[in-house]
Chains A and B, each alone.
Chain A
Amino acid sequence: MAKIKLSKKSSRIDMTAMCDMAFLLLSFFIMTATAKVPEALPVETPASTVQTKLPEENLATLTIGKEKVFFGVTGRETRAETLKRMGDKYKIQFSDAEQKKFSLIDGFGVDIRNMKKLIEMPNEQRMKEGVQPGIPFDSINNQLADWVKTAREVAKDMDGKDLDIAIKGDAKEEYPTVKKVLDILQKQSKNNFFLVTGLRSDDF
């Protein structure tokens, strides 16, 4: 009887091309990824099913948490110019170096009179809890409204576009604080804004 010989095939595949491609993609994603910057006021946003992305440019973010409000705006030139105009309004002179350093800060929450001290601080110290007490936004000393107004004016002058406003509130924040911020925006006829949320399915 003749034996049937099974042909032995090698189970190996050439993986060179696959490996090349994998590393190409990997390097692409590493390069496009941006490092997450630590936030001055960490908040846990509530979840929603709506899936619209936030605009990445021309945006001011109002972060609300623990009855404090922090303010931040995108774009370095916008930031520097906003600080300059706010300084004029409150009769505080900010030097060019201070403006430059300020333009690297993503969000802050101090009285403008303490702004110089904040700018001087090293980054790690600035992010410590309790260092920034929030921007005053009561009716007597409403700096938050001025910040929003100034940033909008700057954005209008620089790009000719109205600044988008995003509200990033903590899920546990009580409504009165949110209401105050909404009122500030409404008072400036800024009636359309974004609420920053997390993502969830609609089966909750």
Chain B
Amino acid sequence: MAELNTGDGGGKKGGGKVRSKKANPSVDLTAMVDLAFLLITFFILTTTLSKPQSMNLAMPDKQKIEDTPTETPAWRTLTLVLGTGDKLVWYSGRADGPPLDGPVATTYGKTGVRDLILNKKAGVDARNKAEGADLEKSGITVIIKPSKKSNYKNLVDILDEMAITKVKKYAIVDITDADIKFLEDNKIY
């Protein structure tokens, strides 16, 4: 491929005129360019992709909770109790006494908890609209209760679902005995 030594064409024409050899100075750069771009790609990918992503989490102020407990109607809440084995139990309303809806076990991901949240959210929004309530202020409230048997990934997954389904109000709350019983009934504790 290299063409450094091809410059002697037309050297012996005619008489004794000595022509200086014209060297063709072009080197084939294809391989070099290939390599350079490969390295560029490598460095671009490693520098930008290695930066860690993060998720913002705001917890309520501990003092403020005790001062002013916020009240939410039971039908507007959805409680997710995170159990073991990447499963969770959901219900609407209160855990003491029979809940409004549920408790039902489900899984994480698109087909499990996301559909559920979207359905519930649509239901709450529809009822709010019918009652003429302020949609911004009185949207669905999701209560997340991670059990001792759940892991950190489960928590992040649920927080991620909150971001995907655009639920504005959610809180991480301590688990109660009633919630643990729901988990035990569904054999995920």
Contacts and interface: CB of A to CB of B under 8 A. Distances in A.
Interface string B16-57: 000000000010011011001101100110110011111111
Given A191-B58, A194-B56, A194-B57, A29 B148 contact: no
Given A174-B148, A178-B152, A189 B46 contact: no
Contacts of B152: 46, 64, 169-175, 178
A65 to B, nearest CB: 9
B59 A186 contact: yes
A54 interface: yes
Contacts of B109: 204
Interface residues of B, number: 47
Given A19-B29, A48-B160, 17 more contacts: A14-B26, A18-B29, A45-B52, A48-B156, A48-B159, A50-B55, A50-B160, A53-B54, A54-B53, A171-B151, A175-B151, A186-B62, A187-B62, A193-B57, A196-B52, A196-B53, A198-B53
B110 A19 contact: no
B33 A48 contact: no
Interface stretch (A30-38, A105-113, A152-160): A30-38
A53 B53 contact: yes
B131 interface: no
Contact of A33 (B33, B46, B62): B46
A26 B43 contact: yes
B151 A197 contact: no
Contacts of A22: 33, 36-37, 40
A197 B148 contact: no
Given A19-B36, A22-B33, A172-B152, A33 B54 contact: no
Interface string A109-120: 000000000000
A46 B153 contact: yes
A203 B110 contact: yes
Contacts of B46: 33
B100 interface: no
Given A25-B40, A49-B164, A175 B155 contact: yes
A33 B55 CA distance: 24
B4 interface: no
Interface of B: 26, 29-30, 32-33, 36-37, 39-40, 43-44, 46-47, 50-63, 82, 109-110, 146-157, 159-160, 163-164, 172
Interface residues of A, number: 56
A139 interface: no
A192 interface: yes
Given A29-B44, A46-B156, A191-B60, A54 B54 contact: yes
A29 B47 contact: yes
Contacts of B43: 26, 29-30, 33
A32 B156 CA distance: 32
B146 A197 contact: no
A26 B36 contact: yes
A174 B149 contact: yes
A172 B82 CA distance: 14
Contacts of A23: 36
Contacts of B110: 203-204
A172 B160 contact: no
Contacts of A33: 43, 46-47
B60 A172 contact: no
